[in-house]
A and B are shown apart, each in its own frame.
Chain A
Amino acid sequence: MRRGIGAAEFGRDFTSPGIFGARMSDFLRDYLNVVWFAVAALAIGGLLLGLAAAIRPSFPSAEKNIAYESGVDPVGMGWSQSQIRYYVFALLFVIFDVEAVFLFPWAANIERYGTFGLVVMLIFIVLLLDGLVYAWKRGLLRWV
């Protein structure tokens, strides 16, 4: 059961049997549109690249196919070892992002949960902030 604005109120009628039959719910229909858009994006990309491939010239040479590093011959492999400085940030991001996911269902029903929900979620947000302050004090938020 869809709350608020449903497809029926919109006047959109999906009862005509399509290629997937009439039994598919509106919910899945909407996500099927997402799939069509993905297919369309791939088709457009392929079409344009195919067109370009049909038109453009191709004169490969050994010098042209060297990696471009400002005109100097590249030193070593392109996949050189590099320090990924932000792996701590990445860990923090995962924690925060997952916790933000918990905030959304409450936010969408904030009036229903009322004061009780508000107090609980404020404690939750303070805990989130506490984690950030902890990382800050440990010096993890410094770009080294």
Chain B
Amino acid sequence: MISVLAVEIPYWGQSLLRVLGGLVAVLLPAGAIVYLFLFKMMSFMQSRLGPMEAGPYGSMQLLAEVGKWLQKEDISPDNVDKTVFKLAPVVVLLSTFLLIVVVPFGPEAVFADLDAGVFYFLAVGSVSVLGILMAGWASANKYSLLGGLRAAGQLIAYELPMVLATLGVVIQAESMNLNRIVEVQNTEAIFGFEWLGNPFVITQFLGFLIFMIAVQAELTQPPFDMPIAESELVSGYMTEYSGFRFLMFFIAEFATAGVFAFIAATLFLGGWGVPFEWFGWDNLDDVSWWMNIVGPLILFTKMLALVFVIMWVRFTYPRFREDQLQTFAWKFLIPLSLANIAVTAILKVAV
């Protein structure tokens, strides 16, 4: 994009543009997800209208909510470990911002073109649980402590299926660079059938399912919401939080849902490209410059579709018990994903 504009932008200007773009890429999906899915879709699924007062169809509700939370008193109880308690929401938000860096939005519209992109997002995705554990421990509250420990246990169980499901994609694409993975999906063929490209959601369908289940668990969305199970732990690790710090946890939760959906769309649905043969490009140099503008919109659409599924599952299924949750990961998902890797590798080398 920078070369297209034919203007020499100094490095600090480029960095500022990137950071502003990253801000939009984190907050816009979060707002869209909260309004479209959490306010409206959830209401329709439960036969009610949802917010209708603020603006047409309640579309200004988000602004009203932020205004409300800004005015709320921020209580930090006497017993809490003040520094850690106040730092925890920022750490969770930090994890979201570090995740968005790796997502490619177009042939040149990338925040950071990391060769070990897959490694990077798997590593950084776990930072949010550090924040959750900090919140749970520092709150000096039994509910919070249990919630934080449960969140850590859940991450441990579902990180492995996610890593192993991603491995199937890396085997097929032969690269850990996310933009290269997008390129492969849009230009290669499924066993010689070229018309659709090779979106890995078809050839790695099992991997896609495992990945989405693991994402659901890492986001602690129901049915995997044992860490914040409100009927037994009040609000889990968030129990002692109020005011804007609580809102930061809330924003980070849905922003991370958006970012993980971006990553899932990049890994499995062809990323910013539309994988059809008649677009006729063979490598990234063929792609027209305007894909840097259209690409983000395409990726945004795919993200919304994936978050729709995540939310649909969230509003539909009852909560897993803790032992069921662990058993499901260790005795079902991990053997399944190892088998998936073996079959993928054999087919990749043999065909």
List residues of chain A with CB under 8 Å of any chain B CB.
Answer: 2, 4-5, 7, 9-14, 16-20, 26-27, 30-34, 36-38, 40-42, 44-46, 48-49, 51-53, 55-60, 64-70, 74, 77-80, 82, 84-86, 89-90, 92-93, 96-97, 100, 103-104, 107-111, 114-115, 117-118, 121-122, 125, 128-129, 132, 136, 141-143
**B98-A34 in contact (CB<8A):** yes
**B341-A103 in contact (CB<8A):** yes
**B342-A79 in contact (CB<8A):** no
**Main DSSP-derived SS at the B contact region:** helix
**B23-A9 in contact (CB<8A):** no
Given A18-B10, A97-B160, the answer on whether A5 and B179 have CB atoms closer than 8 Å is yes
B49 interface residue (CB < 8 Å to A): no
Q: How far apart are A72's CB and chain B's nearest CB, in angstroms?
A: 11
**B140-A108 in contact (CB<8A):** no
User: With the chains together, A53 CA to B74 CA distance in Å?
Assistant: 8
The stretch from B194-202, B215-223, B237-245, B260-268 touching chain A is B237-245
Given A52-B243, A67-B139, A86-B156, the answer on whether A38 and B73 have CB atoms closer than 8 Å is no
Task: Give 7 A-B pairs besides A14-B11, A37-B19, A45-B90 with Cβ atoms closer than 8 angstroms.
Answer: A26-B113, A38-B94, A42-B94, A44-B23, A56-B72, A58-B73, A86-B152
User: With the chains together, A4 CA to B284 CA distance in Å?
Assistant: 10
List residues of chain B with CB under 8 Å of any chain A CB.
Answer: 2-3, 8, 10-12, 15, 18-19, 22-23, 69-80, 89-90, 93-94, 96-98, 100-101, 107-108, 110-115, 118-120, 137, 139-146, 149, 152-153, 156-157, 159-160, 163-164, 167, 170-171, 174-177, 179-180, 183, 234, 239-240, 243-245, 248, 283-285, 322-323, 326-327, 330-331, 334-335, 338, 341-342, 345-346, 348-349
**A5-B284 in contact (CB<8A):** yes
Query: 8 shortest A-B CB distances, which residue pairs?
Result: A18-B11, A78-B140, A143-B323, A41-B97, A52-B244, A33-B112, A45-B90, A30-B112
**B93-A44 in contact (CB<8A):** yes
**B71-A55 in contact (CB<8A):** yes
**Contacts of A5 on B, CB cut-off 8 Å?**
113, 177, 179-180, 183, 283-284
User: With the chains together, A60 CA to B70 CA distance in Å?
Assistant: 17
